[in-house]
Amino acid sequence: MLFLENNTSGDLSPEASPARIGLALTDKQMTTAPAHSKKIQIASTLLVGARGLSDKAIAWIFIAPTMVLLLAINIFPLIWAVRLSFTSYMANLPRPLSFVGIDNYVDILTDEDVWDHFQTTAHFVISTIVLQVLIGLGLALLINHKFKGHSFWTTVILLPMMLSPAVVGNFWTLLFQPQIGPFNYFISFFTGLAPSSFTMIGSVDLAPWTIVMVNTWMWTPYVMLICLAGLRSIPDYIYEAAEVDRASSWRQFWSITLPMVMPFLMLAVLFQAIQSFEMFDMVSLLTSGGPGSTTELVSITLKRSAFEKWDTGYASALAVILFVTAFGAANIYVKVLNKVKQS
Amino acid sequence: MKKMIAGATALAASAFLAAVATPSMAEAKSLTLCWAAWDPANALVELNKDFTKETGIEMKHEFVPWTSYADHFINLLNSHSSECDLIIGDSQWIGGAAENKWYVKLNDFFDKNHISMDTFLPATVVGYAEWPKNTPNYWGLPAMADAVGWTYRKDWFAKPELRAEFKSKYNRELEPPKTWDELLQVSKFFTGKEIDGKKVYGSYIYTERGSEGITMGVTNAMYNYGFDYMDSKKPYHMEGIVNSAGAAKGLDVYKELFNCCQPKGLTNAYMSEGLDAFKSGEVAMQMNWYAFFPGLAKDPNVGGDKIGFFKNPAGPAGQFTQLGGQGLSVVSASKDIDDALLYVKWFAQPAVQQKWTDLGGASASKAVLESDAYKKSASYAPSFVESMGMVKDFWAEPLYVPLLLDMQNRVHDYVVANKGTSKQALDALVKDWIKVFKQEGKDPS
């Protein structure tokens, strides 16, 4: 501030670095305003010091605040969670930490219930992704053609994605109410079944598919958007060349569209896999993991251990296992994705 | 212009008054009482106006919905927050509250002020005040007596055509069930019937998974078929007690009732869903806490002559019911412990206990509950008094939360999600509970 206030030369060119401006002004100030000489001397000393810093050091000074925040908010809690995972710590009890070695990990990995919840999560993730990719790509192919009301329908399709998962969970819970929910009446209209004779979120057989259905409804537009970006990136001349060669639409799809959209599609699969793997809010509001533990995803198990049972040590171990699983799977996937891009 | 000047003067005057009044208001004494948000809490607000009138201490109230009641207040207590001066805490909290010193121990205070626990129903003293259980160490004053009971549609039970059909089918009169076998029979009889132009179900029972619902429901069947928490001669020994053949049978009976007669979709339902099902004429009978019955008895659609009440039916091993209710405790982190104790002293007075019940609360005072006047005061009163004499409660250990969540998980998995058998569910529960007690440093062998 001091330097700019005294910058009477008005030189704001790139060459006029703060250090240079400051130094020039300091000289001028020394002759015209002796009352400020002490202040100027300090500034001058600092600038001389700063001039001695390397570019790398200055870069470090700029990124240091971000690094400190990152360490405090992300890395430290992660390391702390790893430490807690080897203890029997309970956050709601005022007692000291006691180390239990790998007991928490053994408990988790030998617990049949936890494996059941992993299976439930796998079912949810895989089913959701398959449906999202099929429907999302289909919608993108449709939307890619210009037709009347094209923009309106694109907006309509994108709406679910813009809603909060909490809102989605709550209103689908109402839609699925057997007595008053419109969904059962809709099914009843086509099948003749009495609306109150079945329940989507209370049935052991239907509940796992219900959460898949709602998640697909919400996130398919996202996959569609990414696919649409892929479709729009394919140059028209490739299709024109294919048409000159009399390639059928089917052949064009398999030989041009799909290979060229594939990197985008794989990226969408990665994003959606991570999103579904960590899904908590919507499923928690829809079914709370029920009936029984039929739809209990590992994220719900983690929440129950950490914030209902307050078994912090156990929950930390489970969190570490989930982190390693997601991180490992994502790494492998990214390598495959890179290979696809290169080919 | 005159109006503008008058307005400006009024504004300046009110600003001046506010500035002057603020320091004196800050000096006014107040207490914050924490509880759950439900009908009896409104009665308590009404009652507390008398306390303010008598002492000049303003009463503030923090009422939290049942679904977050335990989480919210246990976190506050655990963090030694002074947000609540007084708390009406659940019976299961007493162990943790005593051992972690969340509550002020009240023995000396009771002695000094001649407050005798003998004047309260014994079950409520054990449930809401004592830790360790059955020892004279008091951490609360019984405040809100409650237990699980049943309501039924008296008008449906009185329909001549239904009574005739029932008699021809079962060779007995259609009356409120006295045993769980009868409960099943009557529930099945009503399920699928069309009454008042609507298809109805036999009975509503608790199935909620997230907090305590299904446990508070299923124990009403299990106690009466032989379930208990531990060997009475060997503390914390659970093998063969929790998973006894009788306990498994009780669990099966509850599941049978759920499968046959629960309205569709109520697979994760607790108090409010039961009230809705009963009020909307969807069920013939409903399991719920007595605390709701004063409101139901006055309900314009299903109250009055249309509603009847009965206590939890008996089983082969006896007749018990699940204890609800709470005790009034002083929070040790409070900055106004003396005033909070003054409130407890005021609340314990017989006249206040009587008024508390008259307003819609439920005193645990013997003088109030065992009086003829009370028994005649409402149609649910006689069965409530009898129910309070046959209550059993869930664990009140410091680690009651994981114990409760384990039972929620095992029982819900079996009853609602058809996972395994009742014996397998209870065997798994014993394993879960042994693990928790080991964490607590107790020997469950």
Q: What pairs with residue B283 in β-bridges?
A: B201
B398 interfacial to chain A (CB closer than 8 Å): yes
Per-residue 3-state assignment (H helix, E strand, C coil) for chain A: CHHHHCCCCCCCCCCCCHHHHHHHHHHHHHHHCHHHHHHHHHHHHHHHHHHCCCHHHHHHHHHHHHHHHHHHHHHHHHHHHHHHCCECCCCCCCCCCCECCCHHHHHHHCCHHHHHHHHHHHHHHHHHHHHHHHHHHHHHHHHCCCCCCHHHHHHHHHHHHHCCHHHHHHHHHHHCCCCCCHHHHHHHHHHCCCHHHCCCCCCCCCHHHHHHHHHHHHHHHHHHHHHHHHHHCCCHHHHHHHHHCCCCHHHHHHHHHHHHHHHHHHHHHHHHHHHHHCCCHHHHHHCCCCCCCCCCCHHHHHHHHHHHCCCHHHHHHHHHHHHHHHHHHHHHHHHHHHHHHHC
**Which residue has tokens 């914050």?**
B32
Which top CATH class is B29-146+325-392? alpha beta
Q: What distance in Å separates the CA atoms of residue B125 and residue A183, rounded to the nearest whole number?
A: 49
Residue A194 CB-half CA count within 13 A: 6
pLDDT surpassing 70 at residue B120: yes
ipTM over 0.85: no
> Are B188 and B169 spatial neighbours (Cβ–Cβ below 8 Å)?
no
Nearest Cα of chain A lies from the Cα of B218 at a distance, in angstroms, of 14
CA angle A259, A260, A266 (to 5 degrees): 75
- Contact status, residue B146 vs residue B362, Cβ threshold 8 Å: yes
A110–B contact, CB cutoff 8 A: no
Q: Which of residues 80-139 of B touch A (CB under 8 A)?
A: 100
Give residue A45's pLDDT.
Answer: 62
Amino acid at B111: D
Half-sphere exposure of A286 (CA within 13 A, CB side): 29
B326-346 pLDDT, tens digit each = 999 999 999 999 999 999 999
Averaged pLDDT for residues B360-376: 93
Give me the residues paired with residue B144 across strands.
Answer: B326
- So what's the pLDDT on residue A168? 94
Contact indicator for A268, A226 with CB cutoff of 8 Å = yes
Using 50, 70 and 90 to split pLDDT, how confident is the model at B18? very low
Whole-number Å distance between alpha carbons of B118 and B106: 15
End-to-end CA distance of chain B: 88
Other C-beta atoms closer than 10 Å to the C-beta of A104 total 26
pLDDT of A179 reads 76
Question: Which residue among A90, A177, A293 places its CB closest to the CB of B265?
Answer: A177
C-alpha dihedral (B242, B245, B251, B254), degrees to nearest 10: -140
For residue A264, give the amino acid letter: F
C-alpha dihedral (A48, A52, A56, A60), degrees to nearest 10: -40
B24-79 pLDDT tens trace: 444 579 999 999 999 899 999 999 999 999 999 999 999 999 888 988 999 899 88
Residues B210, A310: C-beta atoms closer than 8 Å: no
Out of B78, B199, B413, whose CB is closest to A293? B413
For residue range B417-435, list pLDDT tens digits in order.
Answer: 999 999 999 999 999 999 9
Give Dmax (Cα) for chain B: 89
Question: Which residue type, as a one-letter code, is found at position B23?
Answer: P
Q: Domain spans of chain B? A: 29-146+325-392, 148-322+399-439
Cα B189 to chain center, whole Å? Answer: 29
Q: Which residues of B touch A291 (CB under 8 A)?
A: 209, 267-268, 412, 416-417
Residues in B closer than 8 angstroms to A198, CB to CB, are 264
Q: Which residue has the tokens 């993730």?
A: A125
| Cross-sheet strand order for the sheet of B148-153 | B201-204, B283-289, B148-153, B307-311
pLDDT at B437 exceeding the cut of 60: yes
Is B17 in the A-facing interface, judged by CB distances under 8 Å?
Answer: no
Quick one: CATH architecture of A105-342? Orthogonal Bundle (1.10)
CB B209 within 8 A of CB B304: no
CA B409 to CA B179: how far, in whole Å? 27
Question: Across residues B132-142, what is the average pLDDT?
Answer: 95
Query: By the CB < 8 Å criterion, does B70 face chain A?
Result: no
Identify the CATH assignment for B148-322+399-439 out of 3.90.1150.10, 3.10.129.10, 1.10.1740.10, 3.40.190.10: 3.40.190.10
Query: For residue B59, what are the β-bridge partners?
Result: B31
Q: Do A291 and B402 touch (CB under 8 A)?
A: no
pLDDT, residue B1, reads: 45
pLDDT for B398: 87
**Taking CB atoms and an 8 Å limit, are B100 and A94 in contact across chains?**
yes
Mean pLDDT taken over chain B = 92
Residue B13 has what pLDDT?
52
Measured CA to CA, the distance from residue B108 to residue B262 in angstroms comes to 49
Q: Which of residues 273-292 of A touch B (CB under 8 A)?
A: 287-292
Q: How close, in Å, is residue B438 to chain A by CA atoms?
A: 11
Counting beta carbons within 10 angstroms of the beta carbon of residue B405, is it exposed (0 to 12), middle (13 to 18) or buried (19 or more)? buried
Min CA distance, B77 vs chain A (Å)?
10
Q: For B288, which DSSP code?
A: E
CA A113 to chain centre: 27
C-alpha dist (Å) from residue A322 to A294, A306, B125: 20, 14, 46
Q: What are phi and psi of A30, to 5 degrees?
A: -60, -35
- Residue tagged 């929070």 (tokens): B331
CATH code 1.10.3720.10 region(s) in chain A: 105-342
- Which helix (H) or strand (E) segment holds residue B168: the answer is helix B160-170
- What pLDDT score does A149 carry? 85
- Chain B residues whose CB is inside 8 A of the A175 CB are none
Residue A18: its pLDDT value, please?
42
CB nearest to A288's CB, from B209, B266, B439:
B209
Consecutive 10-residue averages of pLDDT for chain A (343 residues): 39 42 43 58 61 86 93 92 94 82 95 94 96 96 87 91 93 88 89 84 92 96 95 94 93 94 93 93 90 94 91 95 93 88 75
Residue B22 predicted with pLDDT over 50: no
Nearest to A292 among B74, B265, B413 (CB): B413
Which residues make Cβ contacts (< 8 Å) with residue A226, sequence separation at least 6? A136, A264, A265, A267, A268, A271
Contacts of A325 (CB under 8 A, 6+ apart): none
Exposed/middle/buried for residue B391 (C-beta within 10 Å: 0-12, 13-18, 19+): buried
- As a whole number, mean pLDDT of residues B105-113 equals 97
Give me the helices (H) in B228-313, please: 245-261, 271-279, 293-297
Q: Interior CA angle at B345 toward B342 and B348, to 5°?
A: 150
Topology match between the domains B29-146+325-392 and B148-322+399-439: yes
Q: Is A178 on the interface with B (CB under 8 A)?
A: yes
Report residue A43 as tokens.
């500034």
Residue B361 neighbours by CB under 8 Å, 6+ apart: B40, B43, B44, B47, B144
Are the Cβ atoms of A202 and B419 closer than 8 angstroms?
Answer: no
**What's the pLDDT band for B12 if we cut at 50, 70, 90?**
low
Residue B16 has pLDDT above 80, yes or no: no
Give the pLDDT of residue B163.
97
Q: What's the pLDDT score for residue A40?
A: 65
pLDDT at B231: 92
Contact yes or no for B284/B150 (Cβ under 8 A): no
Query: What is the C-alpha to C-alpha distance for residues B407 and B430, in angstroms, rounded to an integer?
Result: 9
Whether residue A293 and residue B267 make contact (CB cut-off 8 A), yes or no, is no
CB atoms within 10 A of CB A60: 12
The pLDDT score that the predictor gives to residue A96 is 81
Higher-confidence position of A92 and B351? B351
> How large is the average pLDDT for residues B232-259?
95
How big is the CA angle at A279 (ends A275 and A281), to the nearest 5 degrees? 130
Backbone φ and ψ of B365, nearest 5°: -70, 135
CA distance A95 to A87: 12
Q: Rounded distance, CA A291 to CA A287, Å? A: 7
